[in-house]
Structure 1
Amino acid sequence: MRASPYRLNAHHPQPLLSHRLLTRPSPSNSLLSSFSLVLVATMTRRVPSSLSLRQQAAAQAQSTLSVSSSASSSFAPIPIPTSAHAQQAASPLAASKHFVLADMDGRPPLDNRACINCISKLSPNEVSQVNWHLDEENKCKLCAVRDLKPEAFTKPFCDFLRENPTVFHTVDYFKTKLRQSGYVELPARDSWSDKIQPGGKYWVTRNGSSIIAFAVGKSYKPGNGVGMIAGHIDALTARLKPVSKKPTTAGYVQLGVAPYAGALNQTWWDRDLSIGGRVIVRDEKTGKTSSKLVQLDWPIAKIPTLAPHFGVGMMGQNNAETQAVPIIGLDSSDSSSAELLGSVGAFVNTQPPKLVRLISKQLGITSYDSIVNWELELFDSQPASVFGLDKEFITAGRIDDKLCSWSALLGLLHSTERDEDSYIKLVALFDDEEVGSLLRQGARGNFLPSTVERAVEALNPTTYGPGLIGQTFAKSFLLSADVSHAGNPNFIGNYLAEHIPKLNVGLVVCGDSNAHMTTDAVSSAILHRVANLCGAQLQDFQIRNDSHSGGTVGPMLSSAMGVRAADAGLPQLSMHSIRATTGALDPGLGVHFFKGFLDFWEQVDGEWE
């Protein structure tokens, strides 16, 4: 089944998908007949406006299928898969992997261009979401992802940033990708003794804001090492205070927020800010408590600047407590602001009433008392987009460091599975890096070391001990992946002339003589060997002696486990601005190198004496 190009109706902004019945009399076309592909005539059923565009497309793609006995002559002829296509369909997992990596699930079929060869390898559900009308400008997405063409990952990365503004949404997104790719969750509170096997793929989370995923080689042997990539998914933001309700000032309803890391700097002024995060809800009927994710898709807050006529500079050291308070409404817009929404002492009474109502409506909560607490934050609502004469840049919020994290996780999903693999591939993505990594979900906690130890114990229940885990760490390597600084043409004097990273070139190997980075001669040589094997390009960066270097999760993790390590990340402009810039090809270049590291680490390690 395929989805043909759809049209947009001025009165119905969601896609109106056109389909047709596929019937092939020849029994040799077993692939199509096995799918039982029955396609719908033009579908105009409305989808609830509260759904996101992606949900709308998914809902329409999954609508009840009806049978049409003949094909409309208005459709272009459909290519018939050959017997060669049918033979290739014998390995559907690889095609489904590329479908996941191309981020095609639930997207409008018009955007999901695919060739007949790739379509022949898809499942019926996946076929229903693709479009095989190709031309020079719209080529097969699945082929592009398979061939690691960097441009194939630009739009998926932008969509990821738009749809997952908080750490909680990001972890939930990664869990979905892992689940679709055959990974199995390991609940941290359960025993893993009988759950981990060679050839298995797993993930575990902590606090809903950090995640570790790993794949055990099919030929794993006791004491073999782990090829690890570690990054962070938190970003500068403004979090709601425990009591975010504030007295009305000059007729404005304001919101009490606190900066996370370096947020609320001057780049946050006059930006359209939305809100999202997790809400802790207690079911009054069952007594069970759970967390629910929420995200508003329109701006609800703004921090207004003061007009220059008042003679107060806005680019100086403005007071973040008194002068960076967002406005979220007018006093007259909520006539019941003095009303208590919950019982005496309830959490909701400490928050702006209209915000409580809005969040409750989004989550379908009818009893305000059931909201026990929440962790909400403000974020730039402007979606990620490409810009430049040749669309060679991506501009977005939260690039630091969802860029390396997203690329690393996709590199793991794209990595090659071989029978002879005897080590463990792992990606660990942490919360709290921007504030020191001191919490349990941060890199200074025991999340990564304990995960490796528990996995090794489950794989070697009779021989596990300090000696075995020590041997495992000695044979392991950590790639600390955090964004680096691209050269800024307006401040080129702030860079060393020999260390000016460029966008759309490749990862940047970061050095620091004061050990803020883990890179040394050995680890740098290892990364360059990996780059040589996978056909990637690396750059070098070190900060000037009269500037201060930032830090990464690398040193703390490397010292905790005693593993060899290097720091390398993708470059960006305007680090720690509410809106930064990277290259349009950089997400894909990251996927390429991270996949190469995971694929070739075992070989490279074996080359060292």
Structure 2
Amino acid sequence: MTELIDDYARFISDSPTSFHAAAVIADRLRDAGYMQQVEGEAWAGHERGFILRGGAVIAWHVGGVKPETGFRIVGSHTDSPTFKIKPTPGSTASGFGQVNVEVYGGPLLNSWLNRDLGIAGILTDLDGEVHLVRTPAVMVIPQTAPHLDRSVNQKLELSKQVDYKPIWSIDESNLLEYLADHAGIPTHRVAGHDLFAYDVQEPAMFGGPSGETFFASGRQDNLSSVFSSLSAFVTMESHDHEDIAVFVAFDHEEVGSSTYSGADGPFLESTLRRICEGLDLEATGYERFARMLANSSCISADAGHSVNPNKVGKHDPDHQPILGGGPLLKLNANQRYATEAEGSALWLRSAAATGVVTQAFVSNNDVPCGSTIGPFTASRLGIVTVDCGIPLLSMHSVREISSPGDIEAMTKILEGYWAGA
């Protein structure tokens, strides 16, 4: 495993939820010399700074500012499909302690059966202080054996309310007390929580003659893009061209992005405005910001689909990207992806600058594609935006499959983009 891929595995292991990912990102930015800007305080004008908001982070690097300066933005998201713990977290049935959950996003549900699951996220106390929490494997969603359901291998139909309810004890143990103890606060001080299930199995490499063909792990949609963009961002050797490099990792993409830390909210725009106001430029006010946006662009980095050799018919016959074939340029005629011709050229220049091969992805006409943060960014800011990402197999499952080579290639493309391609 290369140093980069080893670091990728470590990043995923340290990021069981969006809140943990944001904390890891913040630590890595600090280590790279970036200063944290507290949103509610006066703008400090850091040349290299970042803002942390819940499970989202925005960071920037100001280079040589000129009248034609714009923003070069790479956006991704920190959240992944999973199960969220309900307000009353525990219940009992038939002598078992169970965990009350609801589906978050669109997970491949049956992949979560019979897995060793932990609980992670945040608890807030009555003073409003936020406490990160992460348990080891503590629960499992047991599946009915084929002896008791002879049709289970022909047709699997499960209720989200009834059948996807994990067990965690064989008694009436207090789950909230257990979680509060892990967070280091008394149970009666817990005011609220945002807690999620996560698979505790560590990332792994396997397959092929070298044993390093496939990289398997949960949450690669979209920690793959978060990691690639963060790695490219913090390792920029210099930044003396006229554009401002911006790294943004939103939360809540999997549930629509319409939140205070999501791509459909004002988080990015308000941060860009504050960066703009802190610059020494001739134009002032909205005129200055409008000029900067006209000179700006965004790469929306989110994972895409590799062709599945067992389900080739689900893919477009003339667009069948594969694992290891390079990152994907994602296109859709109805603008579910924001890519258009000008953005395509930007993507290809960035790839060519670092000698990386890419692939095109477009959906089968009978299989509508998903959504990304790209259209939200393009419509809110009115800037050239291109959607891309590494190819995955088993997307939205508890254990997705990628190629290490694609992670490395994606990182290089983003380095080329921020270098001014």
What is the TM-score normalised by the length of structure 1? 0.66
Contact 1:228 1:477 (C-alpha < 8 Å) held by counterparts = yes
Matching residue within 119, 130, 135 for 1:291:
130
When residues 152 and 293 of structure 1 are mapped into structure 2, their CA distance, relative to the original with a 3 A threshold, is same
Distance in 1 of aligned mates of 2:293 and 2:332 = 24
Task: Quote how far apart the aligned CAs of 1:432 are.
Answer: 0.8
Q: Does 1:161 align with 2:161?
A: no
Task: Quote how far apart the aligned CAs of 1:462 are.
Answer: 7.5
Matches within 5 A, 1:63-82: none
Matching residue within 35, 40, 49 for 1:202:
49
Q: Deviations over 1:546-588 (max 9, x none)?
A: 1111111111111111101111111110111111100122222
Q: Deviations over 1:72-96 (max 9, x none)?
A: xxxxxxxxxxxxxxxxxxxxxxxxx
SS of 2:377's equivalent in the other structure is: helix
Amino acid in the other structure paired with 1:324: Y
Distance in 2 of aligned mates of 1:445 and 1:455 = 18
Q: Does 1:554 align with 2:405?
A: no
Task: Quote how far apart the aligned CAs of 1:360 are.
Answer: 3.5
Contact 1:237 1:261 (C-alpha < 8 Å) held by counterparts = yes
SS of 1:275's equivalent in the other structure is: strand
Amino acid in the other structure paired with 1:165: P
Q: Does 1:507 align with 2:327?
A: yes
SS of 2:147's equivalent in the other structure is: helix
Residue equivalent to 2:79: 234
Q: Deviations over 1:294-346 (max 9, x none)?
A: 1123x111111111122353753311101211100102xx5xx5xxxxxxxxx
- In structure 2, the gaps of 5 or more residues are none
Larger RCO, structures 1/2 (Cα 8 Å, 6+ apart): 2
Residue equivalent to 1:108: none
Amino acid in the other structure paired with 2:129: S
Distance in 2 of aligned mates of 1:303 and 1:163 = 23
Q: Deviations over 1:452-498 (max 9, x none)?
A: 11110111487431211111000001111100101111112222233
Which one has the bigger strand percentage?
2
Residue equivalent to 1:300: 138
Distance in 2 of aligned mates of 1:550 and 1:322 = 27
Matching residue within 530, 554, 578 for 2:350:
530
Residue equivalent to 1:412: 233
Distance in 1 of aligned mates of 2:348 and 2:404 = 23
Amino acid in the other structure paired with 2:143: T
Matching residue within 60, 63, 68 for 1:214:
60
Residue equivalent to 1:103: none
When residues 475 and 554 of structure 1 are mapped into structure 2, their CA distance, relative to the original with a 3 A threshold, is same
Matching residue within 95, 110, 126 for 1:251:
95
Amino acid in the other structure paired with 1:225: G
Matching residue within 161, 172, 189 for 2:40:
189
Residue equivalent to 2:253: 433
Amino acid in the other structure paired with 1:330: I
Q: Does 1:395 align with 2:233?
A: no
Amino acid in the other structure paired with 2:77: H
- In structure 1, the gaps of 5 or more residues are 1-149, 283-287, 338-352, 602-609
Distance in 2 of aligned mates of 1:509 and 1:304 = 39
Q: Deviations over 1:328-383 (max 9, x none)?
A: 0102xx5xx5xxxxxxxxxxxxxxx1x33433333333x32222222111111111
Distance in 2 of aligned mates of 1:412 and 1:440 = 24
Distance in 2 of aligned mates of 1:410 and 1:370 = 38
SS of 1:289's equivalent in the other structure is: coil
Contact 1:306 1:312 (C-alpha < 8 Å) held by counterparts = no
The structure with more radius of gyration: 1
Distance in 1 of aligned mates of 2:338 and 2:179 = 43
Give identity over the alignment, percent. 30
Distance in 1 of aligned mates of 2:395 and 2:156 = 18
Amino acid in the other structure paired with 2:146: P
Distance in 2 of aligned mates of 1:414 and 1:158 = 18
Residue equivalent to 2:25: 174
Aligned residues: 417
CA RMSD after TM alignment: 1.7
Contact 2:37 2:51 (C-alpha < 8 Å) held by counterparts = yes
When residues 264 and 502 of structure 1 are mapped into structure 2, their CA distance, relative to the original with a 3 A threshold, is closer
Amino acid in the other structure paired with 1:270: N
What is the TM-score normalised by the length of structure 2? 0.95
Amino acid in the other structure paired with 1:399: Q
Contact 1:416 1:599 (C-alpha < 8 Å) held by counterparts = no
Distance in 2 of aligned mates of 1:162 and 1:430 = 19
